[in-house]
Amino acid sequence: MDNEDYRRRRGLRGFSINRLIPNVLTLAALCSGLTAIRFGLQGEFRPAVMAIIVAAIFDALDGRVARRLGVTSRFGAELDSLSDFLCFGVAPALVLYLAALEGAGALGWVVTLMFPICSALRLARFNTALLSDVPPPAWTGQYFTGVPAPAGALLALIPLVVSFEAEAAWPRHPIVVGVVLVLVGGLMVSRLPTFSFKKGRIPRQWVLPALLIAALTMGVIASSPWIGLSLLGLIYLALIPFSWLAWRRQAARDRQEQSVVALRSVPGDGAR
C-alpha cells in the first residue's frame, strides 16, 4: 500500500471521538477566558472572575483526560499553551486593569502589560524545557519551575476577590493591585520550585486528612466563594516554602546517589 492510499484510507476512518475530548475541554477553557474579558469590558467583575476560575477547571481537566485516554499530542500541547496565555495571562490582567488600574494612567497600563508578558515567558520556558535533549531526573516532574499560570491568575485576582467580600475600596487601590501583579509576575518567571499537583503523590497516612481538607475547602468555596478562593490562594502561597525545602532535600539526595554511583564506577587499586 503506497502512502497516498494509506492517507486516503486513514482519512475515511477519521479520528476517534476520544482524541477530540481533551481539545474540546481546552477550547471550553479558551471560551471561558474570552468571556471573562467580555464581562470585564462590561464592568461585571464578579462573573469575570468566575469565568477565569471555570477556565482553570477546564485547564486542569484537559491534560488529565488526554493522559487517561492515551491521546496526548503535540497539537493539544500547543493549543493548551495558547489557551493558558489568554485565560491566565491576558484575561486577569485586563480585568484588573479595568477594575483598578485604569485610573493610574500610563503607569497602570505598564504594570498591566508586565503580567501577561511574564505569563508568556513562563509558558515559553516550560515548552522549551519539554524539547530538551537531556531529560531531567524523574523526580523533578513533581515540581514546576516558578508559579504556574493558573495559580498565578488566582493569586493576582486576590485583591479583587477580597473587595467582593469586604465590600471595601482599599483592595482595589491601584497601589495594592499593582504591587500584587508585580510580585505574582515575578513568582511566575522565578526559578522557585513549586509543587505540581498533577504528578505529586500523597503518603498513605495523609490520604484521609487530605480528603478532609479538600472537603472543607470545597465547603467554604460553595458557601462563601470569595472567602474560599482567597484562602485557597493564601494556602498555595504558604506551600511554596515547603516545596522549596522538599526540592532541596530531593536534589541533595539525588547528588548523593550520583556520587555513590560515580565512586562505584571507579576501578579499585587492584584492577588491571
Give pLDDT tens digits for 85-120. 999 999 999 999 999 999 898 999 999 999 999 999
The most confident of the ranges 107-111, 130-134, 218-222, 232-236 is 107-111
Q: What is the mean pLDDT of residues 69-90?
A: 88
**Spatial separation of the C-alpha atoms in residues 236 and 229, rounded to whole Å:** 11
Strand partners for 81: none
Burial letters 42-65, b for 16+ CB under 10 A, else e: eeebeebbbbbbbbbebbebbbeb
What's the confidence (pLDDT) of residue 62?
85
**Other C-beta atoms lying within 10 Å of the C-beta of residue 185:** 25
* pLDDT tier at 270, thresholds 50, 70, 90: very low
Q: 266 lies in a domain?
A: no
Could you tell me the CATH number of the domain that includes residue 108? 1.20.120.1760
Q: 44 lies in a domain?
A: yes
Kindly state the percentage of the chain with pLDDT values over 90: 44
**Spatial separation of the C-alpha atoms in residues 114 and 181, rounded to whole Å:** 8
Q: 255 lies in a domain?
A: no
What's the confidence (pLDDT) of residue 271?
46
Structural domain for 119, as ranges: 11-200+207-245
Strand partners for 194: 144
Q: How far is CA 2 from the centre of its chain?
A: 44
Contact yes or no for 47/86 (Cβ under 8 A)? no
- Return the higher-pLDDT residue of 184 and 165: 184
Q: 254 lies in a domain?
A: no
Q: 69 lies in a domain?
A: yes
Residues with Cβ < 8 Å from 13, sequence gap 6 or more? none
Q: 271 lies in a domain?
A: no
**Spatial separation of the C-alpha atoms in residues 220 and 213, rounded to whole Å:** 11
Q: 250 lies in a domain?
A: no
Q: What is the mean pLDDT of residues 249-264?
A: 79
Contact yes or no for 29/52 (Cβ under 8 A)? no
What's the confidence (pLDDT) of residue 5?
54
Asked if pLDDT for residue 60 goes beyond 50, the answer is: yes
What's the confidence (pLDDT) of residue 155?
95
Q: Give kind and range of the element (H or E) at residue 144.
A: strand 143-145
Backbone φ, ψ for residue 146 (5° rounding)? 85, 175
**For the chain, what is the domain count?**
1
**Other C-beta atoms lying within 10 Å of the C-beta of residue 83:** 26
Long-range contact set of residues 13-16: C-beta below 8 Å, sequence gap at least 24:
16/71
Q: 258 lies in a domain?
A: no
What's the confidence (pLDDT) of residue 267?
62
